[in-house]
Structure 1
Amino acid sequence: MKIDISKELKQLGISEVNNGVCTGIEWKTTSGAAVESFSPSDGELIASVNQATATDYHEVVKKAKDAFRVWRMVPAPKRGEIVRQIGLELRKFKEPLGKLVSYEMGKIYQEGLGEVQEMIDICDFAVGQSRQLYGFTMHSEREKHRMYDQYHPLGIVGVVSAFNFPVAVWAWNAMIALVAGDVVIWKPSSKVFLCAIAVHNIVAKVLKENDVPEGVLSLVAAGSRELGDEFFSDKNIPLVSFTGSTKIGKKVGGLVGQRLGKTILELGGNNAIIITPEADIEMALRAVVFGAVGTCGQRCTSTRRIIVHDSVYEDFKNRLITIYGQLPIGHALDEKTLVGPLVDRWAVDTYLAAIEKVKAQGGKLLIGGEVLTGEGYESGCFVTPAIAEVENHYEIVQDETFAPLLYMIRYSEFDEAIRLHNDVPQGLSSAIFSTHLLETEKFLSHEGSDCGIANVNIGTSGAEIGGAFGGEKETGGGRESGSDAWKAYMRRQTNTINYSTELPLAQGIEFNV
């Protein structure tokens, strides 16, 4: 199946050959090596991008530094007004941008639209946040002294996004950073450069109309060969927000840490759902299927493990296998499709290798694990989602396989379920299905889930932007999006004001000169 999206590409300003450097206002001609973007749905060439070079990068950083000096002094509510207009502009382009996200990355169109809606939602959230960059007032122990803390803009925020959410993750970071008074340099995944270019084409109109300084929102589309560790080692960038694998995240954390910079690390997930005898099985089935096969298992919050009580295990397994056998797999833009392709053939090879490891380590494959061929599957990126019976301690189960591979694990006692749930290196998202108050409250307690996200009677995938997003352990520990995640994008300052004619010291210290 082939679908023509030439109309949408034109709407989004995507040409056959595109430059990969933008300072928010102007696109720069660059001489970096060309990257061709192919759709994993049909293998068709969409367009190519001339990558940024190291020279381009340094020019962008200079523009960003100059822009920050101006942008930080714009009142936060006025910065919020720019974000509000960006949200309005994104609304106009929701359908074509959602279609490009789907076509270039491979997630189904409904998910593509949902991702753009996330961008719109975070704009709305950030507008309100622009009037709520609160500090606290404290009582001083010294007479006629006032203490308070406040938050100042940090500087340049470097955003490195992954292929699986080619536009939303940038928005989570960039919109909050903008209202905080920061400027942003975006380095997107080389697998989805076109989505990033389309976004900058959309926001450029708003920036130009409002005379926003060049360099407030910048794009540097470059792979690691063109722009390697320099981005992370650059002292000009006080905060790097990185979304990707735990392996690369550790490297990024080390490079930024060596210069004592700040990081927001959104790394791997090995998310589990506990299904108890008190669960609503119908709800649990729907949540597991979406969590495990949505985005073809390529979400950091995808459901990787289900920990099922002995009393409902066999029934749940059989019903799950039946559903898996009926899943419509196909082109991401086909409205009948529920499971699109993996992002590329490398991802397919990784998936197949993981299944072989499951078998070698003692697991039992129940369904799936095949590469689809023939008409409609010419790209070689389509697989059948797999379910395997395993034990939690298997080495492959302890790792994150970024593909639709779901592990089934038995438990008999509830404490055992929590132990199994927590006994992995990652700690992003988690869920329990139960109508038993004591079970659900224990799952949310200090002795329950050790993840950054813990849900009751909903799945692991599909977080709302209003809450802080992120995880613990090897997931990185950073937080993005809602709640008070904005604080990471600002520097905190404590102020004490003496409005007396005396100079008392804290702690009653006497120091007379």
Structure 2
Amino acid sequence: MLDLTVIPSTGATLPEVRVNRHWINGAFAPEEAAGWTERVSPSHGVAVSRSQRGTAEDAEAAIAAARAAFDDGRWSGLSGKARATVLLKVAELIEANVDRMALIETLESGKPITQARGEVSGAADLWRYAASLARTLHGDSHNSLGQDMLAVVLKEPIGVVSIITPWNFPFWILSQKLPFALAAGCTCVVKPSELTPSTTVILGELLAEAGLPAGVVNIVLGYGQPVGATLASDPRVDMVTFTGSTAVGKGIAAAASGTLKKVALELGGKNPQVIFPDADLEGAADAVVFGVYFNTGQCCNSGSRIILHEDIAEAFTARVVELSKQVAFGDPLDPATQVGAIVTPEHGAKIDAHVSAARKAGARVEIGGAGLAVPGLGAQFYQPTVVTNVTPDMAIAREEVFGPVLTVLNFRTLDEALTLVNDADYGLSAGVWSENVHTCLSFARGAQAGTVWTNTWMDGFPEVTFGGVKQSGLGREIGRFGLDEFMEIKSLVMRIGRTRAPWVRPR
């Protein structure tokens, strides 16, 4: 641990405890509530926010508001230009509020302030791109069905959408869903994680300031039971979109099945990077370190397993270990910090249990494998960890650890590498490092993943659709396909003139 780069407490003065209330039908709920949830900062160990704990009745009231707002057309009936104007205004307001939103997100989640600022400011671009889609939304036409027929395929908003978001990227993931649903003309009920609710509530304020009609977006705070369950099962909801663990995603799908509503799920990953000897090995090593430690590894796209050609395995692993020692872990309020705190003590224990089980199964921990005490902050941190001598059957090679833990496997041929890549329940993302374009293309075709990166990791753009295969989820987010998730397709078939031959012929 003495070899690590640790950033001690900055001693910064923390803001007053933020109070969050439900946002329903264009107004904050009264102070009275069935209960309150207090969020203690994982990095600083003090209360930083206090939020209303929603009931099933709160969720039902929000659904009723969204249902009424959709049915009367106050939003869905607007032109694409009008909807885009509001979304663009929201983007401007997000950028004007980056600092206060990033600060509370850092305190609630434990992520570094620099990453929180990037997440919030970058989300504004998602809103701008969604605005462009609102103005360019179109269906299709069929003018080749004969002289007497014309058909048009219409895209219509699916209706009321429940949006359930996680704690690890609370504002970014909300912005991968909400502006696209709004661009489509839907109305929404949002439930953020009880651990990181504040930036979602702040967004409610910004939506009102931007001129979004009351009831179009509603926010209910609280836990999966009963709020999330109600949002998934209520028959007045037409679609539910969820980001989180695969286990919870299965529960969401089960709850939604009673009404056969549409379900979109962005779930877990055990994402591999395959490194060939001809790659830019220094660039690959840096990207591996970024991929596994970004957001403290608490990321569905975490590059949590690397698959190394046996000719470079030993040297490459040594370089990753050396770079791991240089990554700045510690106080997330210091702009120099690259890796912050683990979200809860319980999650930290789960991470450690994975590493301990791997040790017992015969794996070797090259660095880390234990908690990390940061001077002035406490011990809710976890050391950068690299685990070798791993076999494909070990749990640590197959299960999502969701922490700063990298597992190392070896291969000899491309076919063997693809077998290791695809021998997983997940299929969110995968990466390949090689200077040979044929190797990269063969890998991209063979990898069972929603996204394949070549000679990079975790580059993303609003235009490029995101989502997984297998148990990494259903449906797609962002890009044009992300907009289509919130649309229903309607075929309109028209006969031109009175050309239909009678079915019943007179005797």
TM-score interval, normalised by the smaller of the two chains: over 0.9
In structure 1, the partner of 2:386 is: 387
CA deviation after TM superposition for structure 1 residue 191, in Å:
0.6
After superposition, residues 36-435 of structure 1 pair within 5 angstroms as 36-68=38-70, 69=72, 70-207=74-211, 212-227=212-227, 229-373=229-373, 375-378=375-378, 380-389=379-388, 390-435=390-435
In structure 2, the partner of 1:474 is: 471
RMSD (Å) for aligned C-alpha atoms = 1.7
CA deviation after TM superposition for structure 1 residue 393, in Å:
2.2
Please identify, of 91-100 and 271-280, the stretch whose mean Cα deviation from structure 2 is larger.
Answer: 91-100
Maintained 8 Å contact 1:268/1:400: yes
Can you list the C-alpha shifts for 1:209-236, whole angstroms capped at 9, x where unaligned? xxx4311111000113442522211111
Q: How many residues align?
A: 493
Q: Any stretches of 5+ residues in structure 2 without a counterpart? A: 1-8
Structure 1 CA distance, aligned partners of 2:99 and 2:198? 15
User: Secondary structure at the residue paired with 1:454?
Assistant: strand
Maintained 8 Å contact 2:152/2:492: yes
Can you list the C-alpha shifts for 1:128-148, whole angstroms capped at 9, x where unaligned? 101221211124434321112
Please identify, of 299-308 and 332-341, the stretch whose mean Cα deviation from structure 2 is larger.
Answer: 332-341
User: Aligned pair in 2 of structure 1 residues 504, 188: CA closer, same or farther (>3 Å)?
Assistant: farther
Maintained 8 Å contact 1:51/1:226: no
In structure 1, the partner of 2:5 is: none
CA deviation after TM superposition for structure 1 residue 451, in Å:
0.3
Letter in 2 for 1:122: L
Structure 2 CA distance, aligned partners of 1:351 and 1:504? 71
Can you list the C-alpha shifts for 1:398-445, whole angstroms capped at 9, x where unaligned? 111111111100001111111111111000011111110110110122
Maintained 8 Å contact 2:286/2:323: no
User: Aligned pair in 2 of structure 1 residues 228, 187: CA closer, same or farther (>3 Å)?
Assistant: closer
Structure 1 CA distance, aligned partners of 2:330 and 2:373? 11
In structure 1, the partner of 2:436 is: 436
Maintained 8 Å contact 2:164/2:228: no
Structure 1 CA distance, aligned partners of 2:351 and 2:473? 24
Maintained 8 Å contact 2:268/2:428: yes
Choose which of 494, 499, 503 in structure 2 pairs with 1:497: 494
CA deviation after TM superposition for structure 1 residue 93, in Å:
0.6
CA deviation after TM superposition for structure 1 residue 345, in Å:
0.5
Structure 1 CA distance, aligned partners of 2:213 and 2:27? 11
TM-score (norm 2): 0.94
Structure 2 CA distance, aligned partners of 1:329 and 1:449? 33
In structure 2, the partner of 1:23 is: 24
TM-score (norm 1): 0.93
CA deviation after TM superposition for structure 1 residue 462, in Å:
4.3
Structure 1 CA distance, aligned partners of 2:438 and 2:374? 51
In structure 2, the partner of 1:12 is: none
User: Aligned pair in 2 of structure 1 residues 500, 44: CA closer, same or farther (>3 Å)?
Assistant: same
Letter in 1 for 2:47: L
Structure 2 CA distance, aligned partners of 1:226 and 1:34? 14
CA deviation after TM superposition for structure 1 residue 244, in Å:
0.6
Letter in 1 for 2:133: Q
Maintained 8 Å contact 2:191/2:228: no
